[in-house]
Amino acid sequence: MSSIAIPHAGDHGHDAHEHHHETFLTKYIFSQDHKMIAKQFLITGIIMAFFAMFLSILFRIQLAWPEKDFPILEVFLGKWAEGGRIRPDFFLSLVTIHGTIMVFFVLTAGLSGTFSNLLIPLQLGARDMASPFMNMLSYWLFFSACVVMISSFFVESGPASAGWTIYPPLSALPQAIPGSGTGMTLWLASMVLFIASQVMGGINYISTVLNMRTKGMSLWRMPLTIWAVFLTAIVGLLSFPVLVSAVVLLIFDRSMGTSFYLSDIIIGGQILPNEGGSPILFQHLFWFLGHPEVYIVLMPALGLTSEVIATNSRKPIFGYHAMVYSLIGITVLSFIVWGHHMFVTGMNPFLGGVFMITTLIIAVPSAVKTFNYLATLWRGNIKFTPAMLFAIGLVSFFISGGLTGIFLGNSALDINLHDTYFVVAHFHLVMGSASICGMLCGVYHWYPKMFGRMMNDKLGYLHFWMTFIGAYLVFFPMHFMGIDGVPRRYYSFTNFPFMQEWLTVNVFVTWAAIIAGLGQVAFLFNFFYSIWFGKKATQNPWKSNTLEWTTPVEHLHGNWPGEIPTVYRWPYDYSKPGHEDDFIPQTVPFSETMSSNLPHDFEGDAVAEQIQREWDKEHGVERELHH
């Protein structure tokens, strides 16, 4: 569309000149360059991911060996693990903060933030985001949100501990659990900062996609990654503000004596004056974001893998239009399914029935996506780069986790499965493992674009297999615990005879988690080592079609040294018959690929068809131009 994106688009020839007045502060800290901001999001996301993973290992240790002391824990955690045993309220804090960080900071900001920022301008042919300054603000708000969240570990009463869903009244009453004191205040403050960051980011992504595509880049020529992050941004922009309202009302209830969520409560022998509020109201507000949030987490991952699977199968993604329509379907439907989190919370049962219907409908576009992935692999020429391995991993997790969603989306079955380990297994597979696989797939694939160097393949292989097998070993058995009726967020299983049967399984799961967790060190090392010592990347290491691989390896402000390239075709012309290479970049016009053009390429352009017909006659090629 337009290439007059940013003011200094004109002086692209003088990059050296521009770099002169870039200080360390403006280049690495308060950078307004989308590529640097992407890296900032990614590295912050990775650090938060490791932090949250560490928390999960801590509570897994408690679950596996509830009767054992681990004095080393006291060394690090002090009063939270007196005598080497994690305290029940701190256990709940660990669960809460693990969930919050993973869902919001890693899989929302770390995933969307990184790849929207990196790929939207690069794959659409823009010099930067629509509002680079706002983009920078978005990162720094996210960063402060992270700092505030982690700081809650350093307050006297401990971090928030009402679960990542922070249902009031538990989260509203410090008398109910210590974590609902200062820790909860910090949680809420962090979340407000985070949402502000998301909204700023979202506005930026949407306006960039709509306004700043290069010449020839029509919506239907956008790579699926862009479709995914674009729709994700729309979902986020519409749903996150609702969470703000939920959070603000909760802040009022906590500190200003209002009764939005509170009614008829006696705690610690005291009758609270609050009257007329409803905890269910909070759940409605929370899940109005909370459910779309699941797709905010998942859709970018699906977008990234679509691109990676097509590139590494050396095949066009099967059913490009169906892929886009199913993303749009998921986007729309994701707003009307939130009630399935509330089947047994006291919501009117009739509503439960309605939400069950909408919920199961959303499985249809998801199924279409899966089948399209499989069809893309069919008769491909699959190259197993680490990115491709993770992409296949995503498909597997997406299937396994998605199928258990059919149980939970069914309100009748949900009666017995609600708030059990079945739920834990379900969402850890479908949105945890699948999304993290998508994110890692993206990191391995676009690493050369981000850092100009390659990551080590073999460590990547090791990392994949450890993660893939580990995640299944951890989460598969949990389904059965849930079927048996073991509720989630239980500090120990020792008080119920029927749960004691699962103690050995718990030990197994914890060992699997520890080993898979250590496997991530392979990634951490690989990531940071390769930034400085990796093999130098070539311009287009994966032989990919999309625009970002036409930029020089060395980053420069404005992305392309010369004019922004024009786009002539869709991004998936891989292994086109009649062409000697197995890929044709989007920047190659049809006039240069006369031997491989297909009827639908011309989109009904009569002149182009005429030219092609003449060329065919000249070269003795038989071709049907009309379908």
Partner 1 sequence: MRYRKYINFRTIFSLVIATMLLLHGSAFAQAGDSTATENDTTVSSSELQAEAESAGTTAADTTGNAVAAATPEGTSATSNAVQAAQEEEKSIDPQVYKNFFYYVLLFFLVCIIVGIVGKIIQVYELTREMQGRAKRVNWNKFHGTLFLISLFVGLYGAYWSYAHHGSLAWHESASEHGERIDSMFITTTVITTIVFVLTHILLFGFSFVYKSTGKRKAYFYPHNNLIEKIWTIVPAIVLTVLVLFGFFTWRSITNVPDDVAKDALQVEITGEQFAWTVRYGGKDNKIGKRSIKLTTPLNGLGIDYNDKSAWDDIMGSDIVLPVGKPVRFTINSKDILHSFYMPDFRVQMNAVPGMATHFQMTPRYTTAEMREKLNNPEFDYVMLCAKICGQGHYNMQKTVRIVSEAEYKEWLATQSYFFSDDVKKEFKASQSANKGEQEEDNKQLALNY
- Three-class SS of residue 54? helix
Q: How far is the CB of 511 from partner 1 (least distance, A)?
A: 11
Q: Is 532 in the site for partner 1 (CB under 8 A)?
A: no
Name residue, tokens 């029509």: 218
Considering only 18, 484, 609, 616, the residue that binds partner 1 (CB under 8 A) is: 484
- Cα separation, 33 vs 559, in Å, equals 10
Q: Is 540 in the site for partner 1 (CB under 8 A)?
A: no
Q: Is 279 in the site for partner 1 (CB under 8 A)?
A: yes
Q: Is 456 in the site for partner 1 (CB under 8 A)?
A: yes
Q: Is 412 in the site for partner 1 (CB under 8 A)?
A: yes
Q: Is 281 in the site for partner 1 (CB under 8 A)?
A: no
Q: Is 453 in the site for partner 1 (CB under 8 A)?
A: no
Which is nearer to partner 1, 141 or 486 (by Cβ)?
Answer: 486
Per-residue x/- track, 342-361, partner 1 (CB under 8 A): --xxx--xx-xx--xx--xx
Considering only 501, 592, 605, 614, the residue that binds partner 1 (CB under 8 A) is: 501
Which is nearer to partner 1, 178 or 292 (by Cβ)?
Answer: 178
Q: Is 545 in the site for partner 1 (CB under 8 A)?
A: no
Q: Is 602 in the site for partner 1 (CB under 8 A)?
A: no
Q: Which residues of 382-402 are buried (b: 16+ CB within 10 A; e: fewer)?
A: eeebbbbbbbbbbbbbbbbbb
415: left (phi over 0), alpha (psi -120 to 50) or beta: alpha
Using an 8 Å Cβ cutoff, are 487 and 420 in contact?
yes
Q: State the DSSP code for 537.
A: P
Q: Is 415 in the site for partner 1 (CB under 8 A)?
A: yes
Strand ranges inside 268-381, DSSP E: 270-271
- Cα separation, 524 vs 450, in Å, equals 16
Q: How many residues bind partner 1 (CB under 8 A)?
A: 138
Q: How far is the CB of 254 from partner 1 (least distance, A)?
A: 14
Considering only 15, 74, 609, 616, the residue that binds partner 1 (CB under 8 A) is: 74
Radius of gyration of the chain (CA): 26
Q: How far is the CB of 523 from partner 1 (least distance, A)?
A: 13
- Retrieve residue 21's tokens: 């007045």
Query: Between residue 84 and residue 143, which ones bind partner 1 under the rule CB under 8 A?
Result: 84, 87-89, 92
- Cα separation, 557 vs 20, in Å, equals 12
Q: How far is the CB of 244 from partner 1 (least distance, A)?
A: 22
**Which residues, at least 6 apart from 405, have a Cβ–Cβ distance to it below 8 Å?**
363, 426, 430
Q: Is 495 in the site for partner 1 (CB under 8 A)?
A: yes
**Which residues, at least 6 apart from 15, have a Cβ–Cβ distance to it below 8 Å?**
556, 557, 558, 561
- Cα separation, 510 vs 492, in Å, equals 13
Which is nearer to partner 1, 4 or 72 (by Cβ)?
Answer: 72
Which is nearer to partner 1, 248 or 521 (by Cβ)?
Answer: 521
**Which residues, at least 6 apart from 238, have a Cβ–Cβ distance to it below 8 Å?**
292, 335
Which is nearer to partner 1, 205 or 390 (by Cβ)?
Answer: 390
- Three-class SS of residue 604? coil
Q: Is 528 in the site for partner 1 (CB under 8 A)?
A: no
Per-residue x/- track, 145-184, partner 1 (CB under 8 A): -----------------xx---xxxx--x--xx-------
Using an 8 Å Cβ cutoff, are 37 and 139 in contact?
yes
Q: State the DSSP code for 25.
A: I
- Retrieve residue 460's tokens: 């990547």
Q: Is 65 in the site for partner 1 (CB under 8 A)?
A: yes
Q: Is 210 in the site for partner 1 (CB under 8 A)?
A: no
Piece of 145-153, 299-307, 429-437, 458-466 that binds partner 1 (CB under 8 A): 458-466
